[in-house]
Every structure is written in structure tokens, then in C-alpha cells.
Chains A and B, each alone.
Chain A
């Protein structure tokens, strides 16, 4: 048959062009998708540093045997954070340079626990978690003690390693 034996260069060229189109489209889609995905999934990159030492103030500002709130500017703030860059924490000065610094976030679901000096308890307003003065779990649904910041006293100042929202998978 004539049409079978004769090569059809026209059709071949068109077929090639279509195939090239598909391949080029796939290539273009890939080189667009890669940076987009990389941008979106930056959180899953390893080696993120999200804690820095921040100063809470002079040790003399905290009375011995008492617990009070202190606040610090989030070291990873952005200019458009507004008031949310001011992070609270509970500082308990046991005695001398012995401190405990707790995150205000309840270990159950992250609501802010409130300190009651009279009964020596932290109470959570969301689901009723209660913690003792040393941060240990006293009652309610929390699965663990209050999150404790790493801290140090340097030249009369109290410093903590802050900046991250503590969760069960990763404390502060």
C-alpha cells in the first residue's frame, strides 16, 4: 500500500512537536513547582534556629520565694507583629540565684495559665488544668508539668532561652 510504505515526514514532525510540548510542559511545571514547594515547606527544613538568649531583667527585680510574670520581646519578631511580639512567662525565684521560669502555655492545649499566690497554684481557664508552684502537674487534663525555659544568671541579670511556642512535641 502506498500510504504505508511512504514515510510521512509531516506527521512525524508534528508528532515530535507534540511530544516535545509535553516534555517541555513537564519540565516547566517542575522548575516552577520546586521553588514554590520549597518556599511553602520551609518549615520542614532542618536546622532552624528558633531560640535565643533574652534578658528578663535584673535578679533583684524578683523577690525570693515569689512568682511573678515577666515579659520579653520575641527575638524572632517581625516589624508587623504589633503587640504579639511581647511574650509573657512566669518567673519563680526559689532563693538566691535559683530560679524556675515557666511558659504561660498550659501543657494540655496551650491556654495561658494564671498564678495564684495565695494557694500557690497555676490555673488554666480553658479546660481546668492546675499546676503547683514548682510547675508540676496538680490536677486536670494536662499530660505533663509546665514547660520550663532554660535560664541563666549573668552579671546580676536573669536570661532565658526564648522565642518558640512550646508544644508537647518540643518544649522551650
Chain B
């Protein structure tokens, strides 16, 4: 059996003669310390790309890229097709892991300064791969063609529409028409299935070619600085002296780690299942809270928190500047120290980036700036705040509820977080201040002057004045001295 197999392989190889091409790649020498667990992330990203290709092609067997049928075809895939739900789950979890692993890979390369001479182009190709991966993630969630996809496109169009001069044309170009519809889905399908995978595969080939040609970087050592005149000679000499073949010394760690990652994807898919589709993409169903997938929640949060005066500029300029900075990293700092112990600013940058992304993601998940649309009718009134109240105060409690105040204000830990919580509001604002705040608004609160009768204002303020802890009295307007004339 084994002999037969060997003969078959030999027969093919005598004609194909691929061995002499592959062998140098597989056995190319690498620095001894590069066979490290730190160097396994790139291969894992490649393995995930393979998984995404296989599962993506499988999904395309059933998916219909028509706005009229995409949603139904996903439902069919999920509920009727044999293992369709599992393939969808694999593709979704594969994409989540891929975004994460690509980010970790990039952070590792940055921390080890592996982008320095002569690997500048490898890094730049990597930046393109990062952008393509994120673009795949975004277009992928559009193909889910549910409410989030529909309104997500609206958000994308709204950002693009802020471009000076050409805004409307760019929106038309993105949507394939004057409004989100069938033509839009066809565009994003083309991007997700033809254009971006092509770019991803082509750029991955360039990236890999560069890794083989320029060689895997040695682990950074304090004081061993990169100098354009001496680096290559020193690297070659160290390979001759101390190099080991990529296979099996580094490959075995790569194989173990990428297999573990794939197993984690399969386990996540089996445990948590596919994601969505959410509500059907019917624009008239506006009782929806559009949210992106978790890897774009940070962006969603950033869009909410930008200072209004400069938000258009930042929305349009920030992506360009960020990409330019990433591309410029190896060009600006292509030589010198590589050890993270001697590059505190770089370590700080990674730390701050992770912290920023983490905090923004958490904010995006909580969305404290969004009104809680159901709180006014759905959140229970805490019994304590209405016990023993006068009829006027109770009428005020009803006004508070009916006028949707709780969509933005919490009471007894339920309600929106857009405005301050109202528990204890009487210890902060006097009666006059309450009246003014309700009537005129301000500080990001709408003015309710037109929507409340004087009697309702009276009742509401009377109720608000009861909102203070027993141990802390309500603040009162001090009868000041008569105004001077």
C-alpha cells in the first residue's frame, strides 16, 4: 500500500517536477530563535483564510444575491439545508477569529519591530491584508441582508455622503443606485465574493513570497540594532552558522497552533451556532436598533462620541490618516533598535490601541448615548418612589412615564442612560432649576415647553422634588435678597 502510494507520488513528481520549487520554501533556513511560539499567528491567519474560502464557497451554493431572496435563502440555509447552520456558523466564527488573529499578528510584528529593514514591504503588504480582512468582515455582514445590514449601509452612506463636492455621487456609487436596494446587495456580493478574495489571495501570495525571500526575522535582542549596511550580511551569516530548516522546526509549532485555532472555531460554531440573520430587511420596520458585529462596535462607538464640530473631518480623514501611519511605520522607523524593552513608545502605542479599542467596544456594546426606546412603557416604576406620594406627585410620576422621560433617564436602575439618573435629582436641582430644565432643556436635553401643560409641569416637578434619599434633603431655592434696583 505504502509502496503503491510512493510510486504514484513518484510518477506524478517525475512529470510535475514541483519538488525543486517547493523544497527550498519548505526547508528554507530560519534563525534558530524564530522557531518560537511568538511566530505562529501568521500561519493561523492563513489557515483561517483557507477555512473562509472553503466555507464561503459552500455557502455560495445556496445563497441568492438578490435583495428579494437573500434573506429567505439564509433562512433556508439555516433551517433546511443539511448542516447549513453549521457552515454558516463556521464562516461567521472563522471571520471573527480571523479579524482577531490578524490583529494579534500585527501587534506581535510591531512589538518585535519585524517590519524594519529589509522587511518594510512585507509589513505594507500586511497592512493591505488587514484592510482587506476588515473589508471582508464588513461586506460579509452586509450579505446577511437583515435589518442591521440595511441600516449599516445607511450609516456607511451617511459617512460617505459627508465627502465635500462628490458626496452624492460617491453615495450613488456605493449603493449602485439612489437608495439601498437590490443593486446595492449585488455590489457588495461582488466585492465579498470576487474582488476582495482576489485581492486577499494575491496580497497573501506577495506577503508569503516576501517572507521566504527576505527571511523570517530573528528575535529582537537588546542592543542588536538594524543597520542597512550590515543587516543582510549579518543575517545571512547567522543563518549559515546557526540556521535551522523551517520544516519541521518552526512548522510543527505553526501546525499545532493553527490546528488549535481551527478547532476553537469549530467548537465555537458548534456551541454558539450561526449569527443572525436578524429582522428582515424591511425599511418600514423601524423599530430596530442597528448594531454592527462586535469587531466594528468600536467604530460605532467612536462615531457616537466624536465632537460635533470636527466629526465630519474626523470621519473622512481618520481612516486615511490611520492607514497612512501604518504604511509609514517601516519607512519612518526602518532601522535601529528592535527590542520592545528599548522601544517604550511602541509598547505604549500597542497598549493604548488595545485599551482604546477595548473601551470603545465596551461602550459600543452598552451604547449609553442611545435612548432606551421601550423604557417609558416597559420599565417598571420602582415602588419606593411612589409609595406615600400625594395625588399631585403621583400625577407627576405618570407624566414622567408617559412623556418618555425614562427613555433617557434611569430611575431605580432601569431606563436610558443618555441623561443623568433621576434617583436623587432633588438633591442636585432646586424647584426653579427643575422647572427651567424641563421647559427649556439644555445640556443635550430637548425643551419640553411645548409638550407639557403648566399643570403637567407642576405635577412633574412636584414628583421630581421627592426623588432624594431619606438621609439627604432636597435642595431648596433660597429666598434671596430682593433684586437691587
Q: How many residues of B contact A (CB 8 A)?
A: 72
A160 on the B face (CB < 8 A): no
The reply to whether A164 and B178 contact each other, CB–CB distance below 8 Å, is yes
List of A residues within 8 angstroms of B150 by Cβ = 84
The reply to whether B168 and A169 contact each other, CB–CB distance below 8 Å, is yes
The reply to whether B441 and A110 contact each other, CB–CB distance below 8 Å, is no
- Residues of chain A at the chain B interface (Cβ within 8 Å): 41, 43-44, 48, 50-51, 69, 71, 74, 76-88, 104-105, 108-114, 116, 118-121, 123-128, 130, 132-133, 138-141, 143, 163-165, 167-170
Known: A50-B178, A141-B304. Is A168-B68 also a contact (CB below 8 A)?
no
Known: A108-B158, A167-B158, A169-B162. Is A123-B371 also a contact (CB below 8 A)?
yes
The reply to whether A169 and B284 contact each other, CB–CB distance below 8 Å, is no
The reply to whether B403 and A82 contact each other, CB–CB distance below 8 Å, is no
Segment 425-452 of B: residues with Cβ below 8 Å from A: 441, 444-448, 450-451
- The chain A residue sitting closest to B154, CB to CB, is A110
The CA-CA distance from A141 to B306 in the complex, in Å, is 9
* Across the A-B interface, the 6 shortest Cβ-Cβ residue pairs: A167-B161, A169-B167, A82-B68, A138-B446, A110-B154, A50-B178
Segment 158-183 of B: residues with Cβ below 8 Å from A: 158-164, 166-173, 175-183
Q: Interface segment, B41-49, B275-283, B350-358?
A: B275-283
Partner of A88, one of B181, B280, B286: B286
The CA-CA distance from A47 to B153 in the complex, in Å, is 24
List of A residues within 8 angstroms of B167 by Cβ = 167-170
List of A residues within 8 angstroms of B451 by Cβ = 118-121
The CA-CA distance from A78 to B178 in the complex, in Å, is 12
The CA-CA distance from A166 to B303 in the complex, in Å, is 19
What is the CB-to-nearest-CB distance from B149 to chain A, in angstroms, rounded to a whole number?
10
Partner of B404, one of A43, A86, A121: A121
- The chain B residue sitting closest to A143, CB to CB, is B308
The CA-CA distance from A119 to B403 in the complex, in Å, is 5
List of A residues within 8 angstroms of B458 by Cβ = none
List of B residues within 8 angstroms of A87 by Cβ = 179, 283-284
What is the CB-to-nearest-CB distance from B208 to chain A, in angstroms, rounded to a whole number?
29
What is the CB-to-nearest-CB distance from B457 to chain A, in angstroms, rounded to a whole number?
13
Partner of B286, one of A104, A130, A141: A104
Segment 218-258 of B: residues with Cβ below 8 Å from A: none
Known: A83-B281, A123-B371, A128-B370. Is A116-B446 also a contact (CB below 8 A)?
no
Partner of B154, one of A43, A111, A139: A111
What is the CB-to-nearest-CB distance from A129 to chain B, in angstroms, rounded to a whole number?
9
List of B residues within 8 angstroms of A132 by Cβ = 446, 450
B201 on the A face (CB < 8 A): no
- The chain B residue sitting closest to A71, CB to CB, is B284
List of A residues within 8 angstroms of B178 by Cβ = 48, 50-51, 76, 163-165
- Most chain A CB within a 10 A radius of its CB, from B162, B282, B312, B371: B371
Partner of B181, one of A71, A74, A105: A74
- Most chain B CB within a 10 A radius of its CB, from A41, A113, A114, A141: A141
- Most chain A CB within a 10 A radius of its CB, from B70, B71, B164, B180: B180
The reply to whether B157 and A167 contact each other, CB–CB distance below 8 Å, is yes
The reply to whether B168 and A170 contact each other, CB–CB distance below 8 Å, is yes
What is the CB-to-nearest-CB distance from A57 to chain B, in angstroms, rounded to a whole number?
14
